[in-house]
Amino acid sequence: MGRHLTQTILIKHNYISMTILAFDWGLVIEKLILIAVVVFGSLGIALYTTFGERKVAAILQDRPGPNRAGPFGLLQPLADGLKLIMKEEIIPTAANKWLFILGPGLAMTASLMTCAVIPWGSDIELFGRKMALQIADINIGVLYVFAVVSMGVYGIMIGGWASNNKFSLMSSLRAASQAISYELAMGLALIALLMTSESLSLKTIVEQQVKGNWWNIVYQPLGFLLFFIAALAECNRTPFDLPEAENELNFGYHQEYSSMKLGFYLFAEYVNMIMSSAIMASMYFGGYDLPFFDESTVAPNIAAMIGVGTLLIKIVLFIFVFMWIRWTIPRFRYDQLMNLGWKTMIPLALFNLLITGALILANL
């Protein structure tokens, strides 16, 4: 009995050891490095997006903008970050402490999780290994994006409710109802695109545009317009920034927050804007595809880096449009906001869906 038990233990031990040795630890290290690069890169871009927004606003309003901290004001984002870190952490006495802390953390986590399925470029070769510039190529990548984006609203709702402030609660309710309204239109606009691509994988959607003759914006111009407007509303950007309407709700759902808790909410908005731009560039504008560029003429790694640079340029252009709209178009009334979502965008999205289906059935 004892000998049989010993042999069983040795067999299981050898099996576990062989499994550990056979596991591809190199792949794990690659993914961890890619996660670190994407996450910290997104945070760095978000940090300087705040600087870019202030500069764009200054140009549109004919003033210099931030120009004191460092050459051309380039150290201003670092000064702002240091200011947020050094400020006193204040938690209202009547607030729910744990939920008050959880709210901004959940909003920030949800915004960063979106980057997991975005294809940042074609494959590269490092140390004899082929490495994909995408954290996770899952076959339901688009559904993953919608699931994670929906979680971000919980961060706003929890923060507004836990603050025990009526204005914060009203703001979080606005944000939730706004997200529901525009996610419906966004989803319907996206279904039309999925009907043409026949895939939920972002990698596959990008590769179809790279290998095809046209980007998806050619096939789905109305779908892209609806998706872009819905993205403005999802990111709480003007003219859809009703959850932060200062003349109605003071400071909005993060009125009671200070220091880095407030910083998390502010950063989450900019990270959401970056990820929305990356998703729109990937689904409608070819992702990392550079027009009239033949990848076979250069080394694979150089071609991959050119693709990454191309996608980043598209993201920056989208971010500029976000900022341009903010400092150009006035804020809607709340009833106008909801009417646009339910009575205009959803019917247009359904019309686009029907037209797309008809064209597919007609083989056009």
Condensed to tens digits (0 to 9), the pLDDT of residues 66-123 reads 888 888 888 888 888 888 888 888 888 888 888 888 888 888 888 888 888 888 888 7
Residue matched to tokens 């056979």: 22
pLDDT tens-digit readout, 116-149: 888 888 878 877 777 888 888 888 888 888 888 8
> Would you state the structure tokens that stand for residue 219, as one six-digit string?
């096939």
Q: What is the pLDDT, as a whole number, of residue 47?
A: 85
> Would you state the structure tokens that stand for residue 245, as one six-digit string?
């309407």
Q: What is the pLDDT, as a whole number, of residue 246?
A: 67
- 124's enclosing H/E stretch is strand 124-126
Question: What is the per-residue DSSP string for 50-97?
Answer: HHHHHHHHHHHTTS--S-SSSGGGTTHHHHHHHHHHHSPP---TTS-H
At 258, phi and psi to the nearest 5?
A: -145, 175
Distance of alpha carbon 25 from alpha carbon 166, whole angstroms: 51
Q: Write down the pTM of the prediction.
A: 0.86
pLDDT tens-digit readout, 323-341: 999 888 888 888 888 888 8
pLDDT tens-digit readout, 12-31: 555 454 445 455 666 777 77
Q: What is the pLDDT, as a whole number, of residue 15?
A: 46
Helices (H), ranges, 87-215: 97-113, 141-162, 166-197, 202-211
At 246, phi and psi to the nearest 5?
A: -65, -35
> Would you state the structure tokens that stand for residue 221, as one six-digit string?
């111009």
Helices 259-284 and 97-113: crossing angle in degrees, nearest 10, is 30
pLDDT tens-digit readout, 148-199: 888 888 888 888 888 888 888 888 888 888 888 888 888 899 899 988 888 8
pLDDT tens-digit readout, 189-226: 989 998 888 888 888 898 888 887 788 898 899 999 99
